[in-house]
A and B are shown apart, each in its own frame.
Chain A
Amino acid sequence: MVRILKPRRSQPIARRAARVLAWILATSVMDAAWADVDKGADSFDSNCAECHSVAKTLKNKKGPSLFGVVGRTAASVPGFAYSDAMRAAGFAWTPDKLDAYIAAPKKLVPDGKMKFDGLDDAAERADLIDFLRQQH
Chain B
Amino acid sequence: MLGLLLLIGAGSAQALPSFARQTGEECAACHVGGIGPQLTPHGQKFKIGGYLDGDSPDNWLLPVAVQGIVTSTHTDKGVPDGAAEGFKDNNNTVFQEGSLFLAGRYYGNVGGFVQETYSGVDHHWAWDNVDLRYARTLKLGGKDTIVGVSLNNSPTTQDPFNTLPAWNFPYVSSDLTPGYLGEPLLAGGLEQVVAGLTAYGYFDDWLYAELGTYHDLGGGFLRNVGLYREDRINLSGTAPYARLNIGHEFNHQMASVGLVAMNANVLSDPSSSDKDKYRDVGVDASYQFLGTRKHIFSLNSRYLHESQKLRATFAGSGADRSRHHLNEYNLNGSYYYLNTWGATVGLFGTSGARDATLYAPGDIEGSRTGKPDSRGVIYQVDWTPWGKEGSWMEPLANLRLALQYTMYDKFNGSSSNYDGAGRDASDNNTLMAFAWFAF
Residues of chain A having any CB pair with chain B under 8 Å: 42, 45-47, 49-51, 53, 55, 59-62, 79, 81, 115
Contacts and interface: CB of A to CB of B under 8 A. Distances in A.
Interface stretch (B2-10, B99-107, B170-178, B288-296): B288-296
A50 B28 CA distance: 8
B292 A50 contact: no
A46 B56 contact: no
B57 A60 contact: yes
Contact of A53 (B40, B42, B389): B389
Contacts of A53: 24, 389
B222 interface: no
Contact of A49 (B23, B53, B56, B389): B389
B108 interface: no
Contact of B29 (A50, A55, A60): A50
A61 B252 contact: no
Contacts of B24: 53, 59-62
B327 to A, nearest CB: 38
B54 interface: yes
A62 B293 contact: no
B23 A62 contact: yes
Given A50-B29, A55-B390, A60-B24, 6 more contacts: A45-B294, A46-B252, A46-B291, A49-B293, A60-B57, A62-B23
Contacts of B40: 50
Interface residues of B, number: 20
Nearest to B24: A61
Nearest to A80: B55
Contacts of A62: 23-25, 53-54
A46 B293 contact: yes
Contacts of A55: 389-390
A115 B45 CA distance: 11
Contacts of A49: 29, 293, 389
Interface in B112-151: 144
B23 A45 contact: no
A80 to B, nearest CB: 9
Contacts of A79: 57
Nearest to A53: B389
A104 to B, nearest CB: 15
Contacts of B252: 46-47
B291 A61 contact: no
Contacts of B294: 45
> Which of A50, A53, A60 has the most B CB atoms < 10 Å from its CB?
A50
Contacts of B29: 49-51, 61
B55 A81 contact: yes
B23 A61 contact: yes
Across the A-B interface, give the 5 residue pairs with the lowest CB-CB distance, nearest first: A45-B292, A61-B24, A50-B29, A61-B25, A42-B292
A55 B394 CA distance: 13
Contacts of A115: 144
A51 B55 contact: no
Interface in B50-107: 53-57
A107 to B, nearest CB: 14
Contacts of B54: 61-62
A47 to B, nearest CB: 8
7 contacts: A45-B292, A50-B42, A60-B56, A60-B57, A62-B25, A62-B54, A115-B144
Nearest to B28: A50
Contacts of A50: 25, 29, 40, 42
A77 B109 CA distance: 26
Contacts of A45: 292-294
B25 A46 contact: no
A51 B292 contact: no
A45 B296 CA distance: 13
Nearest to A78: B57
